[in-house]
Amino acid sequence: MAGIAVDPGDPPADDSAGPPIVHLHGGGYRLGGAEGWVGLAHRMARATGRRVIVPEYRLAPEHPFPAALHDAAAVWQAVADPAQGPPPVLSGDSAGGGLAVALALALRSAAAAESPAVPGPHRLVLLSPLLDLRADAPSYRLNAERDRLWGRSAAREAAEGYLQGVPPEAEPLASPLLADPAALAGLPPVLLFAGTGEALIDDATGFARRAARAQVAVEAHFLPELPHVWPLLLPDDPRSAEAMARVADFLGLS
């Protein structure tokens, strides 16, 4: 499996910390790689006491949708072995957050269709997730001056490269915000972080509302004055450490 795997500094001898975390990196489906997420993986591993796996996946435009989803599913199938105990936690930031939700939906759909059993994630952790590739939410306009990292032009370029003609509103595995409520029902508990000044804040709040209406347990933290994926980009900010502590709490480790 290509990617990185980071162990906590002092893993419990009896492996009581629980199953690993599979984190899908961001980059608009066209940039990035696991090595760029080593710092976040280390901080998450130290906070939770769990192994953090950041896999590589194929990128657009050379590898359009659903290549990234297929790669994420292959990694998940290799890691989520029922014989090894409870299923892993699934995490992701930005486009990786959207990919994480898409993978959780695909796994649930496969289970409903009585496909060979591959367990879905135990928990979902989403950092500033990109969940709607239409890129027309009001927050793109309202936060255009505040969000210097992700804007409408970047979102539309990412969508064009990734979808290559697939309508974003027609494919919930590319735009999970648009998934049927019945498809959301049965997802695992979700922990979600976003900044109120982000272009993607409407993606985050919209998903939190839709998931909650589908009876999914959602814990959402929307913080002011913080940029897109701040736990990744601002490792020394106390609020980034607080976010990692919240992840540990959410996983039942403190």
198 is catalytic: yes
Rounded Cα distance, 125 and 178, in Å? 19
Q: What are phi and psi of 22, to 5 degrees?
A: -100, 115
254 is catalytic: no
Residue 176 DSSP class: G
Rounded Cα distance, 117 and 81, in Å? 10
221 is catalytic: no
Give 148's contacts (C-beta < 8 A, 6+ positions apart): 227
Burial of 119 (0-12, 13-18, 19+ CB in 10 A): middle
Amino acid making up residue 34: A
Strand ranges in 87-235 using DSSP code E only, listed in sequence order: 89-93, 124-127, 190-195, 218-223
Q: Of 94, 128, 139, 240, which residue is the catalytic one?
A: 94
Rounded Cα distance, 210 and 252, in Å? 24
CB-based contact 106:73 (threshold 8 Å): yes
Q: Of 23, 25, 122, 228, which residue is the catalytic one?
A: 228
Q: Of 25, 128, 175, 198, which residue is the catalytic one?
A: 198
Give the strand pairing for 3-6 and 52-55: antiparallel
CB-based contact 147:199 (threshold 8 Å): yes
Active-site residue list: 94, 198, 228
